[in-house]
């Protein structure tokens, strides 16, 4: 295949990772991101061994920096599952992630991860063999329309310009404009995002002395997760069953006070974490996913990340899958003999795997937010039974991934 110019809609994790992967292969890419810059809030994120290996593949220097800036798991870490009253349901050792799967699990603040990605794009984080492709990132420019024919794909931009390339990669998130092109080709119509039934309220706090390695606690219609991102701080996410739009409609002060009241009787250190949250790092978002697609490409247009497979955060795999997508798509665009072959191979490697974890996340979201006492008792029993198994066996499919 002759050298391609790839247009990327969306400069989030998936879009920037794809741009870096293409540059490494000597391919040119232009990223159009609708926001003016990267937000500094957004709490934290956990990259599991599969996502870390994908990032290492895209940029070894970035992978190395991720381990230094974030907090890698150690063999002594455990997945601790508690009830809202603090009773232990399960404590499953993470095991030797590096020895077993080739990479650690790393928790990091989102702002730090974005900073590292940006530094890799600009060259502030130098890397040997960064590649000869040109990578441009244009902020404050949204993709608003798409047309394609046999000779190329043209995107209309919010600033009135239009740009033509050989490929358009839609990395524009759950409300993707580009997805509509692919969805119409597959089904003749688009299906909108669907509300998961719960909202996420998140922030960061000083690392507590009680359960400093983090935990997941489940109550009636609420789940609370936290994980350390450094020796001093951790981030937390409360997912709350609620009518769509009800929490995002609150002011941040009201949302925080309401969450404090809702979780006021929960075990230590949950209430204290809400009290000590930095107001600048407090965020409320309704969680949506979309019905799965069987095809992620149409003509010269292809999808990745949340645009292809938005999933609820219950398994913590959305970003990990996005990084796997980016590594695979960059490789295929560089190696395949033709564009159809590149997209066929990309979909062969990616669609079934990502859709599987999206549907598991959806199922766990329902289970995790049961609100009647019988349902909660059933869920807690399930957790006890499921977490008795061998974690290495349970995680094999997910973590044994190789780019
Ligand atoms: P996004 O991050 O949504 O980026 C899309 C980008 O496209 C944005 O910058 C947006 O501004 C831009 N954009 C949108 N429309 C346009 C347009 N028309 N033109 C140009 N630009 C556009 N995943 C994990 O793996 N581990 C976790 O621990 C984890 N925790 C999570 C916790 C919560 C509470 C939530 C909500 C999600 C979590 N996820 C986690 C999921 C993860 O955040 C997402 O899967 C990941 O951010 C997807 O990246 P993306 O680049 O595909 O999409």
| pLDDT tens column, 19-56 | 999 999 999 999 999 999 765 567 899 999 999 999 99
| Bridge-based pairing state of the strands 301-303 and 167-170 | parallel
Residues with Cβ within 8 Å of 363's Cβ and at least 6 positions away in sequence, in order, are none
Mutate to test the pocket of ligand 1, among 10, 107, 203 (most ligand atoms within 8 A of CB): 10
Per-residue model confidence (pLDDT) at position 376: 78
Distance 175 CA to ligand 1 centre (A): 10
Mutate to test the pocket of ligand 1, among 7, 11, 12 (most ligand atoms within 8 A of CB): 12
Short-list 141, 23, 14, CA closest to 6: 23
Q: How far apart are CA 258 and CA 261, in angstroms?
A: 5
Lowest mean pLDDT among 43-57, 82-96, 141-155, 339-353: 82-96
Atom 52 in ligand 1: which residue has the minimum CA distance? 305
| Nearest ligand 1 atom to alpha carbon 202 | 34
Distance 150 CA to ligand 1 centre (A): 31
Distance 210 CA to ligand 1 centre (A): 31
Mutate to test the pocket of ligand 1, among 306, 317, 361 (most ligand atoms within 8 A of CB): 306
More reliable by pLDDT, 299 or 277? 299
Per-residue model confidence (pLDDT) at position 391: 67
The label of the residue with tokens 């080709």 reads 185
Mean local confidence (pLDDT), 231-240: 95
Across all residues in the chain, what is the average pLDDT? 92
Instruction: Give Cα separations from 14 to 18, 227, 255 (angstroms).
Output: 6, 23, 30
Question: Per-residue DSSP letters for 77-104?
Answer: -EEEEEETT--EEEEEE---HHHHHSS-
Per-residue model confidence (pLDDT) at position 386: 74
Instruction: Give yes or no for residue 268 having a pLDDT over 60.
Output: yes
Residues with CB under 6 A from ligand 1: 9-15, 32-35, 45-46, 51, 142-143, 171-173, 177, 200, 202, 237, 285, 287, 305-306, 313, 316-320, 322
Atom 16 in ligand 1: which residue has the minimum CA distance? 172
Short-list 160, 173, 205, 167, CA closest to 302: 167
pLDDT band at residue 127, thresholds of 50, 70 and 90?
confident
Instruction: Give yes or no for residue 234 having a pLDDT over 80.
Output: yes
Per-residue model confidence (pLDDT) at position 1: 64
Atom 41 in ligand 1: which residue has the minimum CA distance? 318
Distance 89 CA to ligand 1 centre (A): 31
Answering whether pTM is above 0.85, one says yes
User: SS3 string of 173-239?
Assistant: CCCCCHHHHHHHHHHCCCCCCEEEEEEEEEEEEECCCCCCCCEEEECCCEEEEEEECCCCEEEEEEE
For 317, phi then psi, to 5°, come to -120, -5
Q: How far apart are CA 269 and CA 250, in angstroms?
A: 25
Q: How far apart are CA 366 and CA 197, in angstroms?
A: 8
| Nearest ligand 1 atom to alpha carbon 32 | 20
Distance 393 CA to ligand 1 centre (A): 29
For 192, phi then psi, to 5°, come to -75, 165
Per-residue model confidence (pLDDT) at position 396: 82
Instruction: Give yes or no for residue 350 having a pLDDT over 90.
Output: yes
| Nearest ligand 1 atom to alpha carbon 305 | 52
| Nearest ligand 1 atom to alpha carbon 287 | 36
Distance 197 CA to ligand 1 centre (A): 19
User: Which residues are bridge partners to 165 per DSSP?
Assistant: 153
């Amino acid at each position: 295949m002759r050298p391609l110019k790839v247009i990327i809609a969306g400069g989030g994790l998936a879009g920037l990772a794809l741009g870096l992967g293409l540059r490494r292969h000597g391919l040119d890419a232009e990223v159009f991101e609708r926001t003016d810059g990267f937000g500094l809030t957004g709490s934290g994120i956990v990259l599991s061994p599969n996502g870390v290996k994908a990032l290492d593949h895209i940029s070894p220097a970035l992978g190395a920096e991720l381990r230094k800036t974030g907090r890698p798991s150690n063999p002594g870490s455990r997945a601790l599952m508690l009830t809202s009253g603090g009773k232990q349901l399960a404590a499953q050792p993470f095991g030797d992630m590096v020895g077993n799967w080739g990479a650690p699990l790393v928790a990091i603040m989102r702002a730090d991860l974005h900073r590292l990605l940006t530094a890799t794009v600009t060259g502030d984080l130098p890397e040997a063999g960064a590649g000869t492709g040109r990578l441009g990132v244009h902020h404050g420019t949204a993709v608003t329309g798409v047309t394609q024919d046999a000779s190329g794909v043209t995107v209309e931009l919010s600033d009135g310009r239009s740009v033509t390339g050989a490929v358009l990669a839609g990395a524009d998130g759950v409300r993707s404009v580009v997805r509509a092109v692919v969805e119409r080709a597959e089904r003749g119509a688009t299906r909108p995002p669907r509300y998961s039934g719960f909202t996420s309220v998140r922030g960061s706090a000083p690392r507590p002395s009680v359960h400093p390695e983090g935990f997941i606690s489940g109550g009636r219609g609420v789940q609370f997760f936290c994980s350390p991102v450094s020796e001093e701080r951790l981030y937390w996410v409360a997912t709350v069953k609620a009518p769509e739009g009800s929490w995002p409609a609150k002011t941040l002060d009201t949302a925080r006070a309401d969450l404090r009241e809702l979780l006021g009787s929960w075990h230590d250190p949950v209430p204290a974490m809400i009290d000590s949250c930095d107001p600048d790092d407090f965020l409320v978002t309704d969680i949506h996913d979309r019905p799965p697609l069987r095809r992620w490409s149409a003509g010269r247009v292809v999808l990745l990340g949340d645009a292809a497979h938005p999933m609820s955060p219950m398994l913590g795999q959305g970003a990990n899958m996005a990084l796997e997508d980016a590594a695979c798509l960059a490789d295929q665009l560089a190696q395949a003999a033709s564009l159809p072959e590149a997209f066929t191979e990309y979909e062969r490697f990616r669609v079934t795997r990502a859709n599987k974890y999206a549907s598991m996340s959806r199922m766990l979201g329902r289970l995790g937010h049961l609100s009647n006492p019988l349902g909660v008792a059933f869920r807690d029993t399930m957790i006890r039974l499921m977490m008795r198994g061998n974690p290495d066996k349970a995680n094999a499919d997910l973590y044994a991934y190789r780019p």
